[in-house]
Amino acid sequence: MIGVVGGGIAGLAAAHRLQERGHEVQVFEAGEDLGGLAATYPTAGDRIEKFYHHLSKSEETIVELAEDLGIEDAIEWQVGKNAYYIDGVVHPMDTAWQILAYPHLSFYDKFRLGMLVLGVDVRGGVPSGGTYEDFTDFEDVPIEDFLLEHTSRGVFENFFLPLLRAKFGDRWREVSAAWLLARVRFRGERDLTEGEILGYLEG
């Protein structure tokens, strides 16, 4: 008997693979429901996800798992929509052009943000690539310190801080720069004219 701790997608996938190889498996989950971040709860209509969660085209492992399970057709790919609502005005933030038009960042802020998204380190005035390739280099770097050094105060306060507070609440200071860099790389997959292509599993 092999025990798998955690009934999220990773735990369930591990149990599935182990069973495929002939092992007897038991999954241990502390919560009432399986699914982890992909878990849902019932409403008067459709089931609603407990946490904001989606797939990207680059997540080949989980897409392949869906194919193995015969549910690949249940993944619906849509163009994601994101925006900031400030002082009664909605500012779409899905494409590079919309971010360039965002009035709460200066031209310099937008330049520093763009360089970070492209993976170019411009500290010291000399552009260099490769600084952000290994996320483990930044696991112990607080996200605020990283953003103030690698972008600008305007980018930190007017672009990232609202996102961090919305996602992590009062614990946003505990987030490492490694998490941010992983998200920036993922966001870098977006279509420059349409935005991000995101996958959602029906049901």
What pLDDT digit, counting tens, does each position of 78-104 carry?
Answer: 888 889 999 999 999 888 889 899 999
| 167 pLDDT tier (thresholds 50, 70, 90) | confident
Is the same domain home to 35 and 99? Answer: no
Residues near 130 by Cβ (< 8 Å), separated by ≥ 6? 119
Is the same domain home to 88 and 178? Answer: yes
Residue 168 lies in a domain: yes
Residue 202 lies in a domain: no
Residue 90 lies in a domain: yes
Is the same domain home to 100 and 147? Answer: yes
Q: Whose structure tokens read 């103030």? A: 148
Residue 162 lies in a domain: yes
C-alpha distances out from residue 195 to 79, 81, 96, 173, 179, Å? 6, 8, 8, 28, 21
Residue 58 pLDDT: 73
Query: Domain range spanning residue 45?
Result: 1-53
| 161 pLDDT tier (thresholds 50, 70, 90) | very high
Is the same domain home to 182 and 94? Answer: yes
Residue 118 pLDDT: 87
Q: Across 14-28, 66-80, 176-190, which has the greatest mean pLDDT?
A: 14-28
Residue 28 lies in a domain: yes
Is the same domain home to 26 and 90? Answer: no
Q: Across 56-60, 65-69, 109-113, which has the greatest mean pLDDT?
A: 109-113
Residue 186 pLDDT: 56
Residue 64 lies in a domain: no
Is the same domain home to 93 and 174? Answer: yes
String of b and e for 28-51 (b: at least 16 CB within 10 Å)? ebeeeeebbebbbeeeeeeeeeee
The alpha helices in 21-139, defined as continuous H runs, are 60-68, 96-100, 107-118
Examine the pLDDT at 202 and tell me if it is beyond 80: no
Residue 16 lies in a domain: yes
Residue 198 lies in a domain: no
Between 17-31, 96-110, 115-129, 136-150, the lowest mean confidence (pLDDT) is in 115-129
Is the same domain home to 90 and 182? Answer: yes
Is the same domain home to 118 and 170? Answer: yes
Residues near 2 by Cβ (< 8 Å), separated by ≥ 6? 18, 23, 24, 25, 26
From 12, 32, 53, give the residue that closes a domain.
Answer: 53
Is the same domain home to 162 and 104? Answer: yes
Domain count, the chain: 2
Is the same domain home to 87 and 162? Answer: yes
Is the same domain home to 169 and 127? Answer: yes
Is the same domain home to 98 and 145? Answer: yes
